[in-house]
A = this chain, B = another copy of it.
Amino acid sequence: MKEDFMHSLGHLALAARFKRISDAMIHSGRQMYKSLGWDIEPNWYLVFCLLEEKGARTVTQMADDLGYTHPSMVNMIKKMQLAGYVEAVSDEQDGRKQWVKLTEKSTQHLPEFHRLWNGGISWAEELLPPETGFLELLSKLETQLKERDFKDRTLDRFHDEK
């Protein structure tokens, strides 16, 4: 087993390790869908689950729900629409709004999709069970960063110790 230099950096390398892990999982997820011959992409599950729970939703609402910027949402939805998984319907009162909703194709495939996703969930749950408190620590981190971002928190300490 080779030692990992990033690990030796401890808390310093936190962001880089998060990125490395998420990149690896997302890339692996893409390969997974490809190997199954499914025409969906990593992260689309966020939209699928969101629309399953909340029904029709506008682009801006979805961006807000998921914590993405709206241009990211637009790109994602555009692709899902092209693949036939969602459709957009203009609001009758408000000409700006586009209500995005799942199509027939989605409702057909979602049970199978969920079976796959459950495979991933069960692995993650075994590795990081509730008693480890991992997800709560992640939430704490996210909450703190939302309240006052990494830059400001770091600069505070930097200037204090001057």
Contact = CB atoms under 8 A, between A and B. Distances in A.
Interface of A: 4-7, 9-26, 28-29, 31-32, 35-36, 42-43, 45-46, 49-50, 65-67, 115-125, 127-128, 132-135, 137-142, 144-145, 149-151, 153-158, 161
Given A16-B46, A121-B12, A151-B31, A66 B144 contact: no
Contacts of A6: 46, 66-67
Interface core residue of A22, A42, A128 (most chain B CB under 10 Å) = A22
Given A4-B142, A11-B125, A18 B21 contact: yes
B50 A150 contact: no
B35 A122 contact: no
Contacts of A119: 153-158, 161
Nearest to A143: B1
B120 A154 contact: yes
14 contacts: A4-B139, A6-B66, A11-B124, A12-B49, A12-B121, A15-B25, A20-B67, A29-B151, A35-B151, A115-B158, A122-B157, A127-B137, A132-B137, A134-B134
Given A13-B46, A18-B18, A24 B124 contact: no
